[in-house]
Amino acid sequence: MIDAPAPVSDSGAPLYLFNSLTRALEIFQPVHPGEARVYSCGPTVYNYQHIGNMRAYVFADTLGRTLSFKGYHLRHIINITDVGHLTSDADAGDDKMEKAAASLGKSAWDIAAFYTAEFKRDLAWLGVRGPAKWTVATDYVPRMIDFAKRIADTHCYELESGLYFDVSTVADYGRLARAVTDEGEGRIDEVEGKRHAADFAIWRKTPAGETRQMEWDSPWGRGAPGWHLECSVMGEAELGMPFDIHTGGIDHREIHHPNEIAQNQAYRGCGGLDHAEHSGARLWMHNNFLIDRGGKMSKSAGEFLRLQLLFDRGFHPLAYRLMCLQAHYRSELEFSWEGLAAALTRLKRLVMAVAPLRDIEASTITDKRLTDLLAKFDAAVSDDLNTAVALTVIEEAAAMKKIDTAQKRAAIAKMDAVLGLDLLTIARADLRLRPKGAAIKDTAIEAMLVRRKEARAAKDFATSDALRDELIAVGVEVMDGDPLGWEWRL
Ligand code: AMP
Ligand code: ZN
């Protein structure tokens, strides 16, 4: 833990965040007073994103929202990787974009445009706020070449297949991963002639006699940039170095981010990583994985867990967001449909509890019970984004009785600005999604339920049971005695 002066935040609690580089909780202190500059590694747009990937953006968004809540002016960048990410981490294999283009018979550019749009749609459904800027890797290739030129002589060497970074030329290579050079986890020296197993491609030459759809001229031949180079360049270009926080999924802690860090040290002529800023960012933060024991997170398997599948099964995406918030971002989260159903129920309860506040104008919060709750909420999110506790606090606020509703609304709005559950806009009915393939119309269900009620009132249980069976047969669950007052569910 680092001793630090009080942060500039007007909000009470100091903001503690876990730095993967030091493996410690640290008090957030912005590089530029009052500002928070955050870079999040974005998707490779060769396919849909699965909901595990989306956990990474829900996390980055929660971080961004928390920084805003704490009073910092947020500048958040998410990149779109539309070139350079290979199917193997060891600089071998195909570019994911070119491979998808070949298998789908479309241009790599069209594929990138299509999946970028799908990704942004999913983000919007999940209540993830758009970044200040989307940086698209192919827009930055000239800058990548300039960056590579600056480090080529001192830190790189050329092989037949491209320009490679020599990891022995920077101090503390691999510290983020806690891996030793040459013995890094999963490092396979797949490229002939590399000096160290961990050396990585800065520029990959197009093999003689081949052409790629995405390729550019460079001092090292026609080809494409390495994936790690892209993020270093976009981060530097948009946020300046050092910036405040770099985020990504925990897999990036092992190879992608250590390599970005090495490049940044080289580019900036920095020493070792005892000074976190030499890495290019003050904090490196990583979300843990969403795991699915059913194996549906693999994009290569037929049906995989993407947001559309949740829709198809009748689950509102915000139930998934809430499911993410129930876990700490640094813990693994196991996906299950039961867990998602429980999250949806929890969301419905919250939406119903705050529904009476929807049309009320917010006012200044002076009631001590509310200011105390807000302080509790602040303490939770300031404790390395403890959203699990924050959720219980907003529930406590939502359940408060005999309280000025205008103030209550203001408090709920403040908390929900961090949680992003859209509680004061969304209606209970919005959360009831029609699963794909459900043939029966809502009006028909309601009519059958009226008949069933009449039958029950007349103690004609045979008819009432028959109606219930009929409904079950078409996929409608009759929910007698549901605490939320839902009479049926598809
Ligand atoms: P990619 O498109 O493979 O670069 O992944 C996009 C983001 O999702 C990266 O930050 C990954 O680290 C993250 N990610 C990948 N799989 C998962 C998962 N199962 N759970 C959480 N985050 C993931
Ligand atoms: Zn990246």
pLDDT tens, N- to C-terminus, the chain (490 residues): 334 444 444 458 999 999 999 999 999 999 999 999 999 999 999 889 999 999 999 999 999 999 999 999 999 999 999 886 777 776 777 788 888 888 888 888 888 999 999 999 999 999 999 999 999 999 999 999 999 999 999 999 999 999 999 999 999 999 999 865 444 444 556 788 999 999 999 999 999 988 888 899 999 999 999 989 999 999 999 999 999 999 999 999 999 999 999 999 999 999 999 999 999 999 999 999 999 988 787 776 667 899 999 998 889 999 999 999 999 999 999 999 999 999 999 999 999 999 999 999 999 999 999 999 999 999 999 999 999 999 999 999 999 999 999 999 999 999 999 999 999 999 988 888 877 777 777 788 888 888 888 998 899 888 888 888 777 777 777 777 666 666 767 7
Q: How is the chain split into domains, by residue range?
A: 16-287, 296-430, 438-489
User: What pLDDT is stored for residue 94 in this prediction?
Assistant: 78
Question: Nearest ligand, CA of residue 261?
Answer: 2
DSSP for residue 171:
T
CA quadruple 52, 279, 198, 185: dihedral, nearest 10: -50
Instruction: Confirm or reject: Cβ of 333 under 6 Å from ligand 1.
Output: no
Instruction: Confirm or reject: Cβ of 44 under 6 Å from ligand 1.
Output: yes
Q: ω into residue 242 within 30 of 0, thus cis?
A: yes
Structural tokens at position 260: 């970005």
CATH number of 296-430: 1.10.730
Closest CA to 382 of 78, 76, 65: 65
Q: How far is CA 113 from the centre of its chain?
A: 20
DSSP for residue 44:
B
Instruction: Confirm or reject: Cβ of 53 under 6 Å from ligand 1.
Output: yes
Question: Nearest ligand, CA of residue 305?
Answer: 1
> What's the gap in Å between 463 CA and the centre of ligand 2?
61
Amino acid at 358: R
Ligand 1 atom closest to Cα of residue 249: 12
Task: Judge whether 32 and 245 are in contact, CB under 8 Å.
Answer: no
CATH number of 16-287: 3.40.50.620
Task: Judge whether 310 and 344 are in contact, CB under 8 Å.
Answer: no
Give the helix ranges, DSSP H, for 159-275. Answer: 227-239, 256-268
> What's the gap in Å between 398 CA and the centre of ligand 1?
33
Number of Cβ atoms within 10 Å of the Cβ of 294: 12
User: What pLDDT is stored for residue 418 in this prediction?
Assistant: 98
> What's the gap in Å between 109 CA and the centre of ligand 1?
22
Task: Judge whether 44 and 97 are in contact, CB under 8 Å.
Answer: yes
Distance CA 335, CA 366 (A): 41
Number of Cβ atoms within 10 Å of the Cβ of 92: 15
